[in-house]
Structures are given as C-alpha cells and as structure tokens.
Copies of this chain bind each other. A is one copy, B any other.
Amino acid sequence: MPAPSQFISYIDSNVDSFIKRLGEAVAIPSISGNGAHRQDVFKMGSWLQNQLSALGVQTKSVDLGRHVMDGQDLPLPPAILGKIGNDPKKKTVLIYGHYDVQPAEKSDGWNTEPFSLVVEKETGLLIGRGSTDDKGPILGWLNVLEAHQKLGLELPVNLCFCFEGMEESGSEGLDELITSEAAKGKDGWFGGVDCVCISDNYWLNTRTPCVTYGLRGLAYFKLTVSGPARDLHSGVFGRTVHEPMTDLILLMSKLVAPDGTILVPGVDDMVSAASAEEKSIYDALDYDIKDVEEAAGARIAISSDKATVLMGRMRSPSLSLHGIEGAFYGAGAKTVIPASVSGKFSIRRTPEKVEPLVISYVQSEFAKLNSKNKLNIENLHGGKPWVSDYKHWNYEAAIKATEAVYKVKPDLTREGGSIPVTLTFAESLGVNVLLLPMGRGDDGAHSTNEKLDKSNFIEGTKLLGTYLYEVGAISA
C-alpha cells in the first residue's frame, strides 16, 4: 500500500520549514563525548521531547543515572521515549535514533561552522555536524508526524519511539533500560512492539538506496606499555632504558598488515567462505572500487577486485590502528621518552569472540621482546555483531517502500560499523530489526564537513512514511 498522495505532496511543499527545523537541531552542539557539552546534550533532549509532544506524541524523559567520563562525574542524558497510536488492529513499530553527535571544531578542517547548518544552493548539500548522523533521520520522523497531524491523517501503524543521547559514547545506560522494560513484557514500554526500524547508517554509494541486514561487531582494545616513573629526556636516557614506545610500536606492527590481513592468528580464519547465495548479493550490489575511492578522497582501495573490497567491508574482520595515548602528539619536535603509552585499536569482528585470541597473542609477542617494561591490555568496549533475517515482512515493507519512492530496487547490505543497540533490541524484544538509512555513503559522519543531501532528507522522509504504510498493509 503506497502512502497517500496528500502525504507526499505535504512533504514536497514544506521543504524549507523542514530544513529550518534541521538547522535548529544542528545548532545545539549535543556532543556526548565532551563533558563540557553535557548540558547541550540535555538541551537537545528537551528540544526533541518538546517537538514530539507538539506533534501529538505522548512522551517520557527517562533519567539513566550518572557516569564517570575522563575523570568527571556526569549525569547521563535521558532517553526520550514516545508513543502515538494504540490501535490493537495495527502493527506497532519501534523507532530508534540518537540525538547526540560527534565532536567538531572548525579548526579540524571544516569549511564552515560545524554547528550552523549551511544550505549549499548549487549542490543541495545540508552541511553541519549531525546533519546525517543522526539528527537528519530523527527529523525525518518528525516530518512524517507533522504531515499526518496537519493533514488530519490517521497513522497506518502505532509508533513507539526510543531516542538516546549517548550513542556516540557507548550508549551508556540504554541497554539496562531496554532490557528492564523488555522484561516487563506487554506492560513494559516496548510491550506490543512488532518490529524495529533504525535509521542511523548510510547507502553503500551515492546513488542507490539500501536496506541493511547485518553489522560487524566491534572489539576495542587499549594496549599499554609502561616503564619509567615519569617521562624522560631522550638525550639523557636514550639507549640506557627500555623505552615503552619502542615496545608498543613493535607490538602494534604485529597486529595487521598493510593489505588488511589480520596477523592475530585465528581471527581471519573465523570467517567461513561466503555461500553462493550471499555471493550473489555482493555481485548484484551497485558498487564500484571508484565509489570507495571517491568516498575516501584518494585512490587507496585495498584491492582492484570489487568482491574483495566489498567483502572487506561487509563480512571479513578488519583491524584498524587508531592512535596512541600518552605519547607526544603535538606539532613540532619534542625529545621525550614517554613513560607510559597506550595503543588503541579495534577489530570489526565476526560472531565468534576475538578478545581471548588478541590478548594471548599480544602477551606472547610481548614476552618475545625481553623488555623490562610492563604490559597491560584491556578490552575497552565492544558491540556484538548482528545479522537479521532479510526475508522478514519488515524488510519486505522497506524494500517495497524504497521501490515506491526511489523507483529502484534497494541494495541489500551488511555494514562495517556497529550500532550496539541493534542487537539489544533484537535479543531482548525478540522481533525483527531493520536498518533503513537516509544518507549517502559520502556523507562524512564522524568526519569534517558532514552533510546530508537535501534530496535524501526529503525523499528519505517520504521513504520513512511510505515504509509505515507498507507495514500497515501487512497487518491489514
């Protein structure tokens, strides 16, 4: 069942006011990872709750307690829950999104102020932190609600909302809320939910919409080598003591090869060969080496074979070295021997547990160094991988809606990134979870000059609304 034509024309007629509202949201620098901005995250939560209330949604702000971040004791931003519609004959769709954003400073390399939405006339780009991750998609839902309210249209499904303000910082407190509400069964907040829709990822490329049925998990490690009691001067101590950086760099060099091969024995072997059916999905994807190179901004693809690159992204484990805490990181030349250094790396992982493999490998490699320094390795945090049943009616609805709005068959993708809440919803509610992205593969979430194409914001809003009608048609 396609969405009514009044809905589609309402969206087309209100582009400017939708963009204005996105501008309001982007202007609140709700950076969850920086304690100095915690009040802005709260402000963003209130803004969102007020918007939902005004659109007829019954809302609730749930206190998630406190946490310690970088030594600061801070209140956690609330989960903003919402409900609209209570018709037992309709399906109930749970919508998830996050209202916090990644840090951004103009000096990071932004061409414009990150917290001031810029509408580029020629290109149709909406540029600003959070435009695509994840304020744009949340506002897509607000647009859908507004259209129905203003047109006096009944929603085709019951809606349940769960918006959090800590996604970019480990989703602290959310799992506990979801599992405790789920444990209450039909009396809990999520009672009666039939399926989940999350709009917080991206198309594979810049052309073809997709629906996403799998996410690689994440295991994040902090590998610390400590030696002297304080930083030392390399002129005085160079070649007299075991230097922690020498040990750390050598250990980090033994984790991954320049071609992406993971050197931790057993990790790459965990992935079985793709089945013929799975292979046919990769072959069918509208995707080219050029797409990844355009998105990366350089001709640095790991292979010239399309399938290898796609499998590298979607099903093989990957290991990335992110940086070092405790070493000299500034400009210029400082002749320090850092006392204690921590290498940060993460593995986008397969369903099996990689942590024990990594930890015992690093320990045995360290033993070979004959160093008098001390080693510590911790698993900072992680997200389990998730794969959904893409033959479920929830996916059928999303695919039909995509075809109706974009006139093409969507790519069926698995993603490299992790959205830990996906698995929590799937496991604790026992319902199908769908990822239905709004933005494109080159949006630059987490990067400088993050953007959302105006057409993705508008057609994406239509897609979300149409998806609800397709779900509604199934329940009819």
Report A's interface with B, CB cutoff 8 A: 33, 69-70, 109, 169-170, 202, 216, 218, 220, 222, 227-243, 245-247, 249-250, 252-253, 256-260, 292-293, 295-302, 309, 312-313, 316-325, 327-338, 344, 346, 348, 369-373, 380-381, 415-418, 441, 444-449
Give CA–CA (A234, B235) in the complex, Å.
37
Partner of A246, one of B257, B445, B447: B257
Which residues of B are found within 8 Å of A370, using beta-carbon distances? 258-259
Nearest CB to that of A241 among chain B residues? B300
Which residues of B are found within 8 Å of A237, using beta-carbon distances? 292, 295-296, 313, 416
Question: B335 near A320 (CB under 8 angstroms)?
Answer: yes
Question: A228 near B325 (CB under 8 angstroms)?
Answer: no
Question: B313 near A236 (CB under 8 angstroms)?
Answer: yes
CB distance from A265 to the nearest CB of B (A): 17
Quick one: given A234-B346, A322-B234, A322-B327, are A332 and B300 in contact (CB under 8 Å)? no
Partner of A312, one of B231, B239, B328, B344: B239
Partner of A302, one of B69, B239, B245: B239
CB distance from A113 to the nearest CB of B (A): 17
Partner of A416, one of B70, B236, B348: B236
**Identical chains bound together, number:** 2
Which residues of B are found within 8 Å of A372, using beta-carbon distances? 298-301
Question: A331 near B325 (CB under 8 angstroms)?
Answer: yes
Nearest CB to that of A444 among chain B residues? B230
Give CA–CA (A309, B238) in the complex, Å.
10
Question: B231 near A448 (CB under 8 angstroms)?
Answer: yes
Question: B381 near A333 (CB under 8 angstroms)?
Answer: yes
Which residues of B are found within 8 Å of A324, using beta-carbon distances? 323-324, 327, 329
Partner of A238, one of B69, B319, B344: B319
Quick one: given A240-B302, A447-B230, A448-B231, are A333 and B329 in contact (CB under 8 Å)? no
Give CA–CA (A237, B312) in the complex, Å.
9
Give CA–CA (A421, B384) in the complex, Å.
58
Partner of A245, one of B239, B323, B331, B332: B323
Partner of A318, one of B170, B220, B239: B239
Which residues of B are found within 8 Å of A337, using beta-carbon distances? 320, 322
Which residues of B are found within 8 Å of A313, using beta-carbon distances? 236-240
Which residues of B are found within 8 Å of A250, using beta-carbon distances? 253, 257-258
Question: B302 near A241 (CB under 8 angstroms)?
Answer: yes
CB distance from A106 to the nearest CB of B (A): 14
